[in-house]
């Protein structure tokens, strides 16, 4: 576990040195632009616009980082052969994977916290927002983070056995599929047999369900999010990440590094 | 001596390739050998012979199709033994966003060296490989030779008992090669076991207690370097200066290669003294006499040709 | 660890993990359902803002919003929910993003005005939307037809309806029957024939499936209403002869008043209520399509 931490910190350092956190500047610009824009366009819904725009930006920026860096976590180290010297040291392959995962999740956490602070700052500038709103926005940010961790795990899994481009496609594909789980469940058609429909239904419970983490509308309206849902989503993300990482480990420990 | 540092038994590696991985290419076939404790062992062979495959199998980067190997008595699947081995990959590359000092510190942490020792070790290693002035520079700015030095530093950072080096001399200038040689000799003096691969004969000859020659994925011979390399001296070479025009020397001069007033002449060992006397008698000035050996290239070409013809392995071992 | 053992372990982990995921998902679904019930939300209700945010892609955004409109309406109709509160803001945003999206105005005009369960029952919103449509697309005469519809069917304001039809008939390209409608309505007000003609015209002129379907249902309801009136006349005749109202259609057939059992346009028999009035059978799909507000024609 100690070595997992060392690898994670180094992964974090890599992200920082590769100027990943520069995206925060972009986020700041979006928030400033939004603040100016809402002042001119809409009356009465400034808060809502700032919250939904801010949360969307946090989510999109996070997803881009999670996918594009996630798919390179393992494959880049294999391509550049930076992995060779490391794996000849007393590092188990699962420790390496977990460290890589932890490192990117740490990066995303720092990044997301910074963006959330920016969002709260913008909210504070626009209005004297009530605690209710702040609470549900905080939960929404936390859910985005859970979602990002799951995306990183998936990207890491694909990164273990396919090319980055294909890994991006697979990760993005699963993410999008995971947003349409409800439609899949309700899928009814005369042209498709009952068996296919029940398979789809079953799949809809097994695929990573990214809809679970979407509480943006509730946050924008400052509605409270039940504590049970927070607990359930946390458990869901943790369990799903564990399953995906176990699969990644199984693949990676058998992998020959050419 | 107890168990050998490295024991390899019938180690085989196939790489599947092609559609659905249905075909396979054998890059190592039934390798059996051992490296004794405190020995410097050279692994010789042309490119693609299976040297790197063997080394990667030993450090657990790839997994054998068949056979077993043990390092320090532990099977290669046992990662805990990695604390006692050092490995330099072929054409090493490291996290280019780190400086040399940071990289070594990172690896030292992985090896669980305590904080104070870590700093001391990192400094000592940087000094040893001649990088103390470049320690604060990011590795992306390093030349190939400098990376090779960093690689060597990280391989011996934790004072391992067994050091495995894949082509440690490649990419280095003569000074660098000399330094690497010194480091290997130091390791030997400190009682470490060193296994390194090379395709350069003179390195092996100078450093190794024993060498193994591998061609086409098969071990072709193991023995002391001179047993293998110096097997058949092809004669003696005499370098002399001559400006006169003696009739008696005409025969010899026609066989020699001339560069200005200098001549290079190859003769059989048995004829050496007679020829020398003849030269001296004619007033030629003998500059040097040296033994002519088969070059490693010739030796490899011979083995490769034999391999292609599917002839039985050439017998070169002679313990 | 041997390969076999590790493989078994992996299978166990995956199996346990996915069964856990399965169970958790059901819990989360239940939880989300409670929080999302009142969550018929449209985060951005200001069309101007959405337009600003969608940069030069406003038409694309309009298409997306239009899709949402159709899905929203379809979903509500499917689940027989009658509150269509979001229909107006969605259409508002859609038509602001793309002021030339004809179908959105026509759709909105019809379903904002139509009474529940088929529409939102807000004719004034429908009128506002269509007026906006006319402002942005003055050449498109069919908006007058739709507007006339609202006055005619939903508001029962026949003079206004006739006026709108007449106004529309003056637009270039307008069909000649626009004038006919204007004349008929100003003369007679509401009549089943006019209604049938109006809906038939809608049915034939549109390609938007939900509008077509709506027109079809309305035509069926009109026919059913005409049938019922006819049956009531027969029932009155029966009562005159037998001294009591018919219990069912069989009585009418036995009395020789009806050649066979009459069915509504979807093939379900009519029935008589306790007072002897002919009605659409509650078993018929048409039954639930009848307007909740029975006062309106």
B53-57, B309-313, C116-120: least confidently modelled range: B309-313
Chain segment B154-210, per-residue pLDDT in tens = 999 999 999 999 999 887 888 888 889 999 999 999 999 999 998 777 788 788 999
Distance CA A21, CA A110 (A): 9
Nearest to B79 among A2, A14, A92 (CB): A92
Q: Is B82 on the interface with A (CB under 8 A)?
A: yes
Per-residue pLDDT tens listing for chain C (297 residues): 456 788 888 899 899 999 999 999 988 888 887 666 444 555 566 677 777 666 677 777 787 788 778 777 777 777 767 677 788 888 888 888 888 888 889 888 888 888 877 788 888 999 999 999 999 888 888 899 888 888 888 888 888 888 888 888 888 888 877 877 777 787 777 777 788 888 888 888 777 777 788 888 888 888 888 888 888 888 888 888 888 888 888 888 888 888 888 888 888 888 887 777 888 888 888 887 776 544 343
How far does A258 lie from chain B, in Å, by closest CA? 7
Which residues in chain A are contacts of B61 at CB distance < 8 A? Answer: 84, 87-88, 256-257
Give burial (CB, 10 Å; 0-12/13-18/19+) of B257.
exposed
Strand-pair category, B193-198 with B40-44: parallel
Of all residues in chain C, the one with the smallest CA distance to A44 is C46
Nearest to A45 among C17, C26, C45 (CB): C45
How far does C54 lie from chain A, in Å, by closest CA? 12
- A95 versus B298: the higher-pLDDT residue is A95
A88 and B61 in contact by Cβ < 8 A?
Answer: yes
Of all residues in chain C, the one with the smallest CA distance to A232 is C28
**CB-based contact B58:B164 (threshold 8 Å):** yes
Nearest to C35 among A52, A229, A235 (CB): A229
Nearest to A246 among C14, C32, C41 (CB): C14
Peptide bond into A32 cis (omega under 30): no
The whole-number pLDDT of residue A144 equals 95
Of all residues in chain A, the one with the smallest CA distance to B64 is A256
- Residues spanned by CATH 1.25.40.10 within chain C? 47-212
The answer to whether position A190 is within a domain reads no
Alpha carbon of B189 to those of B38, B40, B129, B186, C204: distances in Å?
8, 10, 17, 5, 100
Which residues in chain B are contacts of A79 at CB distance < 8 A? Answer: none
The pTM for the full model equals 0.71
Chain segment C43-58, per-residue pLDDT in tens = 566 677 777 666 677 7
Distance CA C29, CA A81 (A): 44
Of all residues in chain B, the one with the smallest CA distance to A95 is B110
Q: Is B25 on the interface with A (CB under 8 A)?
A: no
**CB-based contact B139:B98 (threshold 8 Å):** yes
Tally the domains of chain A.
Answer: 1
Would you say the C-alpha torsion B201, B202, B203, B209 has a positive or negative sign? positive
Looking at the DSSP bridge assignments, the partners of residue B288 are B239
Of all residues in chain A, the one with the smallest CA distance to C34 is A226
How far does A60 lie from chain C, in Å, by closest CA? 15
Q: Is A232 on the interface with C (CB under 8 A)?
A: yes
Which residues in chain A are contacts of C53 at CB distance < 8 A? Answer: 37, 53
- The model's confidence at residue A35, banded by pLDDT at 50, 70 and 90, is confident
How far does A59 lie from chain C, in Å, by closest CA? 16
ipTM of the complex, rounded to two decimals: 0.88
Q: Is C11 on the interface with A (CB under 8 A)?
A: no
Q: Is A206 on the interface with C (CB under 8 A)?
A: yes
Q: Which domain holds residue A246?
A: 2-179+214-254
B61 and A257 in contact by Cβ < 8 A?
Answer: yes
C18 and A206 in contact by Cβ < 8 A?
Answer: yes
The answer to whether position A170 is within a domain reads yes
Neighbours of chain C (3+ CB pairs under 8 A): A
Rounded to 5°, the CA angle C11-C12-C13 comes to: 90
Mean pLDDT of the region A78-89: 92
The answer to whether position A92 is within a domain reads yes
A15-19, B67-71, B85-89, B264-268: least confidently modelled range: B264-268
Distance CA B130, CA B142 (A): 13
Q: Collapsing DSSP states into helix, strand and coil, what is residue C284? A: coil
- The model's confidence at residue A91, banded by pLDDT at 50, 70 and 90, is very high
Distance CA B91, CA B148 (A): 7
Query: Within a 10 A sphere around the Cβ of A214, how many other Cβ atoms?
Result: 19
A229 and C32 in contact by Cβ < 8 A?
Answer: yes
Could you tell me the CATH superfamily of domain C47-212?
Tetratricopeptide repeat domain (1.25.40.10)
A258 and B62 in contact by Cβ < 8 A?
Answer: yes
Is residue B1 scored above 60 in pLDDT? no
The whole-number pLDDT of residue C283 equals 81
Return all residues near C57 (Cβ < 8 A) that are at least 6 apart: none
Is residue B317 scored above 60 in pLDDT? no
Return all residues near A84 (Cβ < 8 A) that are at least 6 apart: A257, B56, B61, B87, B89, B92
Q: Classify B46 in phi/psi space as left (phi over 0), alpha (psi -120 to 50) or beta.
A: beta
Q: Is A21 on the interface with C (CB under 8 A)?
A: no
Give burial (CB, 10 Å; 0-12/13-18/19+) of B317.
middle
**CB-based contact B269:B233 (threshold 8 Å):** yes
The answer to whether position A198 is within a domain reads no
How far does A68 lie from chain C, in Å, by closest CA? 25
Q: Is A246 on the interface with C (CB under 8 A)?
A: yes
The whole-number pLDDT of residue C96 equals 86
**CB-based contact C276:C252 (threshold 8 Å):** no
Chain segment A229-249, per-residue pLDDT in tens = 999 999 999 999 999 999 999
The whole-number pLDDT of residue A190 equals 57
B92 and A84 in contact by Cβ < 8 A?
Answer: yes
How far does A139 lie from chain C, in Å, by closest CA? 14
């Amino acid at each position: 576990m100690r070595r997992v931490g060392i690898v994670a910190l180094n992964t974090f350092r890599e992200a920082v040195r590769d100027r990943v956190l520069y995206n925060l500047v972009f986020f700041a610009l979006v928030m400033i632009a939004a603040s100016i824009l809402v002042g001119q366009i809409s009356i009465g819904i400034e808060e809502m616009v700032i919250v939904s725009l801010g949360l969307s930006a946090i989510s999109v920026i996070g997803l881009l980082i999670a996918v594009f860096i996630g798919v390179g976590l393992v494959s880049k180290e294999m391509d550049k052969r930076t992995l060779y010297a490391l794996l000849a040291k007393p590092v188990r392959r699962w420790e390496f994977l977990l460290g890589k995962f932890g490192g990117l999740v740490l990066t995303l956490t720092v990044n997301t916290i910074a963006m959330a602070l920016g969002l709260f700052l913008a909210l504070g500038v626009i209005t004297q927002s009530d605690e209710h709103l702040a609470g549900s926005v905080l939960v929404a940010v936390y859910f985005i983070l859970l979602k990002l961790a799951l995306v990183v795990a998936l990207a890491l899994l694909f990164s273990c056995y396919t090319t980055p481009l294909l890994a991006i496609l697979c990760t993005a594909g699963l993410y999008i599929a995971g947003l349409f789980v409800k439609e899949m469940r309700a899928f009814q058609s005369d042209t498709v047999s009952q068996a296919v429909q029940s398979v789809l239904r079953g799949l809809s419970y097994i695929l990573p369900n990214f809809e679970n983490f979407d509480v943006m509308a509730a946050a924008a309206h400052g509605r409270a999010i039940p504590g049970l849902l927070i607990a359930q989503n946390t458990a869901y993300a943790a369990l799903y990440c564990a399953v995906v990482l176990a699969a990644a480990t199984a693949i990676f420990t058998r992998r020959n590094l050419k | 001596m107890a168990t050998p540092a490295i024991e390899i038994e019938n180690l085989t590696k196939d790489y599947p390739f092609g559609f659905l991985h249905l075909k396979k290419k054998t890059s190592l076939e039934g390798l059996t050998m051992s490296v004794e404790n405190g020995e410097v062992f050279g692994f010789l062979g042309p490119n693609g012979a299976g040297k790197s495959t063997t080394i990667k199998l030993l450090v657990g980067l790839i997994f054998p199709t068949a056979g077993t190997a043990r390092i320090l008595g532990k099977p290669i699947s046992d990662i805990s033994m990695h604390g006692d081995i050092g490995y330099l990959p072929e054409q090493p590359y490291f996290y280019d966003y780190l400086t040399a000092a940071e990289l070594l510190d990172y690896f030292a942490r992985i090896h669980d060296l305590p904080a104070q020792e870590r700093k001391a070790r990192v400094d000592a290693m940087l000094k040893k490989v001649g990088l103390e002035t470049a320690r604060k520079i990011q590795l992306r700015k390093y030349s190939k030779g400098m990376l090779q030095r960093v690689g060597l530093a990280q391989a011996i950072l934790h004072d391992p008992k067994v050091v495995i080096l894949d082509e440690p001399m490649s990419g280095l200038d003569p000074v660098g090669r000399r330094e690497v040689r010194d480091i290997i000799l130091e390791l030997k003096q400190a009682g470490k076991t060193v296994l390194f691969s090379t395709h350069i004969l003179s390195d092996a000859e100078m450093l190794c207690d024993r060498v193994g020659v591998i061609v086409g994925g098969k071990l072709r011979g193991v023995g002391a370097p001179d047993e293998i390399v110096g097997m058949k001296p092809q004669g003696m070479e005499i370098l002399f200066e001559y400006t006169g025009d003696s009739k008696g020397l005409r025969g010899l001069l026609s066989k020699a290669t001339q560069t200005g007033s200098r001549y290079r002449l190859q003769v059989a060992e048995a004829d050496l003294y007679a020829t020398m006397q003849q030269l001296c008698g004619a007033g030629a000035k003998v500059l040097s006499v040296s033994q002519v050996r088969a070059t490693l290239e010739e030796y490899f070409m011979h083995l490769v040709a034999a391999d292609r013809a599917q002839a039985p392995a050439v017998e070169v071992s002679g313990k | 660890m041997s390969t076999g053992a590790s493989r078994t372990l992996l299978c166990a982990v995956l199996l346990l993990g996915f069964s856990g995921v399965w169970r958790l998902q059901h819990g989360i679904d239940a939880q989300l359902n409670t929080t999302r019930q009142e969550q018929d939300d449209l985060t951005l209700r200001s069309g101007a803002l959405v337009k600003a945010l969608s940069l030069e892609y406003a038409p694309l955004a309009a298409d997306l919003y239009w899709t949402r409109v159709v899905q929203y309406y379809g979903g509500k109709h499917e689940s027989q929910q009658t509150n269509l509160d979001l229909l107006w803001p969605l259409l508002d945003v859609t038509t602001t993003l793309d002021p030339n999206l004809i179908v959105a105005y026509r759709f909105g005009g019809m379903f904002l005005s139509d009474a529940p369960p088929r529409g939102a029952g807000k004719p004034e919103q429908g009128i506002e939307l269509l007026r906006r449509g006319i402002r942005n697309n003055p050449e498109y005469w069919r908006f007058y037809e739709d507007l006339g519809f609202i006055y005619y069917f939903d508001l029962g304001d026949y003079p206004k309806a006739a006026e709108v039809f007449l106004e529309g008939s003056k637009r270039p390209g307008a069909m000649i029957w626009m004038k006919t409608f204007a004349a008929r309505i100003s003369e007679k007000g509401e009549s089943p024939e006019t209604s049938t003609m109006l809906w038939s015209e809608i049915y034939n002129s549109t390609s938007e499936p939900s509008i077509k379907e709506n027109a079809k249902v309305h035509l069926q309801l009109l026919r059913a209403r005409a049938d019922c009136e006819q049956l009531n006349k027969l029932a009155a005749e029966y009562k005159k002869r037998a001294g009591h109202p018919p219990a069912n259609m069989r009585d009418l057939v036995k009395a020789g008043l009806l050649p066979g059992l009459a069915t509504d346009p979807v093939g379900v028999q009519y029935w008589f209520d306790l007072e002897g009035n002919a009605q659409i059978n509650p078993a018929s799909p048409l039954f639930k399509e009848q307007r909740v507000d029975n006062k309106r024609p």
